[in-house]
Structure 1
Amino acid sequence: MCTILIPAYEPDERLLKLIEQLKKMSNYRILIVDDGSGEAYRPIFDTAAAVGCTVLRHPVNRGKGRALKTGFQHLIEIGETRGVVCADSDGQHLPVDIQRIASALQKSGSSLVIGSRHFTGKVPFRSKFGNTATRLVYSFTTGTKIHDTQTGLRGYSSGLLKWLCQIPGERFEYEMNLLLEAARQGCRIEEIFIDTVYLDDNKSSHFRPLADSVRVYLPLILFSASSILSALLDFVLLLLLRGIGGSLAVSVIGARACSSIFNYTMNRKYVFGSRQNKAKVYSSLPKYFALVIAVLVLNLGLMYLYNEWIGIPLIAAKLLTEASLFLFSYWAQRKYVY
C-alpha cells in the first residue's frame, strides 16, 4: 500500500480525525510534515506520532512546496516503491477520495493522478475564481486541459520522487510548477473527480490571495516582462532602421533579429528555467529561432496589412501587431521550445 503524505501547518483536530479514518480503511503508511507550526500545535503532532504516523518537522514555516519536498526526500531515503498520495490536513479531502486516488495509482499504471473537484454547490468565490483563472492559464500555456489545477489531492508513482524534489517552488506555486513541468515533459495526467468540501467558507486555508497568486502566475508575469523589454528593443531598432532609410522589410527583419536573441536569453534563463545544460540549449535554440522565423513572417504580414494596406501609422501598427502575436508566442515557447 502506498504512503499518504500530509503537509500540515497549524492543523486542528481534523487532522487527527483524518488519520483515524484512514487507518480504519487500510494499513496506510502515513507521513506528516509539520511545517513550522510551533509549540502550540505539538500535542496534535505528538498524538499523530503515538498512533503510528511518521512526523517530520520544520523548525520554521517554509511553505507547502518545501514541506512536500521534505516528505518526498524522506520517502526516497526509506526506499518507497509503491508511490505516494498527497492530501491536505484540513479535512477538505475525504478519506474515501484519498483511497480512490491510491487505488488508481496502483491499478492504472499512471505516474500522476489528481483528484479534481467538481466545484458545484456552495463554493467560496475566491476558490472558484482562483481555480477558473489558473485552469485557463494552464490550458493556454500548455495546451493541456485539467479541470482542477489547484487540487492538493495528488498521487505520484515512486519513479517520480527524485523528479518531484527538483521542481522549483517553495510555497503554493510549487504545485502549479509541477503541473507545468509535467505537461512540458509529456507526463500523462489522470484525473479522478472527487467531492468538493469547504469548511467554514474555506477559512482554514493558508493560501494568501495576493502573495501566493503572484507566485502561481510568476511564469506568465516574467514572460510578460521579458516580452515587453524585447518589444521595446525591437520597437526602437525598427524606428532607427526605418529612419535611416531602410525598407520596411529590412527594418522589421533587422530589429527582430536583435530583439529575438535578447528574448531567447531572457526566457531561457529567467522564465522557463535556468537549469538547461548545453544539450538542452542546443535542443531549444533551433526550435526557438524556427519560431522566430514563423513569428517574423506573421509580424511582417501584419505590419504590411496594418501600415501599408490599411494605412495605420507605423507606431500604432507596431503596437497592434505585437499585441496580436504575444499570446501565440508564449503558448508556442511553453509548448514546443522549452
Structure 2
Amino acid sequence: MSTPTASRQDPSPATDAWLVIPLYNEAQVIGSVIGAARGTFPHIVAVDDGSRDDSARQAERAGAIVVRHPVNRGQGAALQTGIDYVLDRTNADYIVTFDADGQHSPDDARAMVSAAREEGLGFVLGSRFLEGPSPVGPAKRFILGLAAKVSSRSSGMRMTDAHNGLRVLRRDAAERINLQQDRMAHASEIIRQLAATGLPWREHPVTITYTDYSRAKGQSLWNSINILVDLLFS
C-alpha cells in the first residue's frame, strides 16, 4: 500500500476517466446524481439493471450513456457490464465505480483520479474511516470493520473499508477484473482480483452522504450483515 500524499484539486473536467454507475430503480434521484457528476466527469455510462421504473430514461436525459440488462442481475453484473463497455468502446485511462443513490461525491471521485494519476497508482479505494467521524452507527461500523479485517487478511491488502463502492481503476487494473459474483459478494471478489494484480494502490478518505432515501435503498444494518455473510462464505 502506497503512502498517501497530498493531491492538488484539479478543477478541470476529468476527460480521461469514465464513471460506471450500476442503476436499478433509482428514477427518483438518478437525474440529479448524473447532473451533479457531469461537471466533473463528462463521460458516464449507467447500466440499467432491469429497472421497473423510469431510471434509464432519466439517466439518458441527464446525459449518460445507458446500457440495459433485460432482467435484474445484480450490482456485480452491472459493474462488469459497465467496465466492459468502457474498455471495449473508449480509450479511457481510468474507470470510476460510482453509486446511483447520491451517496458518493464527485469531488471525492475527482481527488481519487488525481491521486491515481499523480502517484502512478493502479487503483484507489474510497474509505469512510480514514479521516474524521463517519455517519455510521456503531453496529454497522463493527460489521464493516470486521469485513475489512477479513478482506485484508484474504487479499493481503491492509484496508479500513473493504465495501465502499467508490473506486478508481486504472485501465490496466480494470482489464484484469472479471466479476462472477453478480450480487453483493462482488465487493469481496473485486478486492481479491485487484490484490492479484500486484499494482500499487492506496485508500483515499471519502465522505458518504446517508439520506433516508439511500438507507431505504439498501444501507441498512441487515444489508451490512448480508455483506459479511457473503464475504465469509463466498
Instruction: Bin the TM-score by the shorter chain.
Output: 0.7 to 0.9
For the 8 Å contact 1:12–1:90, the answer to whether it is kept is no
Higher helix share: 1
Q: Distance in 2 between matches of 1:52 and 1:101?
A: 23
Aligned 1:193-208 pairs, distance under 5 A: 193-200=205-212, 202-205=215-218, 208=223
What secondary structure sits across from 1:114 in the alignment?
strand
For the 8 Å contact 1:167–1:174, the answer to whether it is kept is yes
- Deviation of the 1:126 alpha carbon: 5.1
TM-score normalised according to structure 1 size? 0.58
Sequence identity of aligned pairs in percent? 26
Q: Distance in 2 between matches of 1:29 and 1:131?
A: 31
Of structures 1 and 2, the one scoring higher in RCO (CA 8 A, sep 6+) is: 2
Which residue does the alignment assign to 1:136?
Answer: 149
Consecutive unaligned residues of structure 2, counting only runs of 5 or more, are 1-14
What secondary structure sits across from 2:176 in the alignment?
helix
Which residue does the alignment assign to 1:31?
Answer: 45
Larger Rg: 1
Aligned 1:157-168 pairs, distance under 5 A: 157-164=170-177, 166-168=178-180
Q: Which runs of 4+ in 1 moved over 6 A?
A: none
Q: Distance in 1 between matches of 2:203 and 2:67?
A: 29
Q: Distance in 2 between matches of 1:161 and 1:122?
A: 30
| Root mean square deviation, CA, Å | 2.3
- Deviation of the 1:171 alpha carbon: 1.3
For the 8 Å contact 2:95–2:169, the answer to whether it is kept is yes
Distance 1:163 1:142, change over 3 A: closer
For the 8 Å contact 1:18–1:95, the answer to whether it is kept is no
For the 8 Å contact 1:112–1:189, the answer to whether it is kept is yes
Aligned residues: 214
Q: Distance in 2 between matches of 1:111 and 1:161?
A: 9
Deviation by residue 1:33-60 (Cα, 9 ceiling, x = unmatched):
111111xx22x32132133210011111
Deviation by residue 1:161-183 (Cα, 9 ceiling, x = unmatched):
3311x243111211211212322
Deviation by residue 1:86-119 (Cα, 9 ceiling, x = unmatched):
1101111112112212222333221111111128
Q: Distance in 2 between matches of 1:176 and 1:217?
A: 10
Distance 1:121 1:191, change over 3 A: closer
Which residue does the alignment assign to 1:278?
Answer: none
For the 8 Å contact 1:168–1:174, the answer to whether it is kept is yes
Q: Distance in 1 between matches of 2:77 and 2:31?
A: 22
1:127 matched to 2:147: no
Q: Distance in 1 between matches of 2:196 and 2:86?
A: 25
Question: Structure 2: which amino acid aligns with 1:151?
Answer: N
Which residue does the alignment assign to 1:325?
Answer: none
What secondary structure sits across from 1:18 in the alignment?
helix
For the 8 Å contact 1:62–1:170, the answer to whether it is kept is yes
What secondary structure sits across from 1:93 in the alignment?
coil
Q: Distance in 2 between matches of 1:214 and 1:61?
A: 22
Higher strand share: 2
What secondary structure sits across from 1:90 in the alignment?
coil
**Which of 51, 61, 67 pairs up with 1:50?**
61
Higher mean alpha-carbon deviation, 200-209 vs 79-88, is at 200-209
TM-score normalised according to structure 2 size? 0.81
- Deviation of the 1:27 alpha carbon: 5.0
Q: Distance in 1 between matches of 2:196 and 2:122?
A: 15
1:4 matched to 2:22: no
